[in-house]
């Protein structure tokens, strides 16, 4: 079995994106519940924005790694 660092990096990025997406979904659900009962959501908003920024970073890194000839 050959070791391909690019493949490993792609798999790791996919795993990170999946974990982040699951966390984002949980945050969105919590945000919806908090707003429905009139609770404050400032910390949830910050968390959602932070996770979305991280998701964009990870996806850009994924694109550069997975599709190097198309990356700009």
How far apart are alpha carbons 55 and 49 in whole angstroms?
Answer: 10
Span 24-35, pLDDT tens digits: 999 999 999 999
Alpha carbon of 52 to those of 18, 29, 37, 45, 59: distances in Å? 13, 15, 24, 11, 10
Q: Where are the domains of the chain?
A: 40-66
Model pTM? 0.81
Span 5-55, pLDDT tens digits: 999 999 999 999 999 999 999 999 999 999 988 888 899 999 999 999 999
């Amino acid at each position: 079995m050959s070791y391909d660092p690019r493949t490993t990096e792609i798999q790791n990025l996919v795993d990170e994106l999946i974990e982040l997406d699951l966390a984002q979904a949980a945050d969105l659900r919590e945000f919806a519940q908090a707003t429905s009962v009139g609770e404050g959501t400032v910390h949830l908003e910050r968390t959602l924005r932070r996770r979305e920024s991280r998701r964009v970073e990870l996806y850009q890194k994924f694109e550069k790694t997975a599709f190097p000839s198309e990356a700009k």
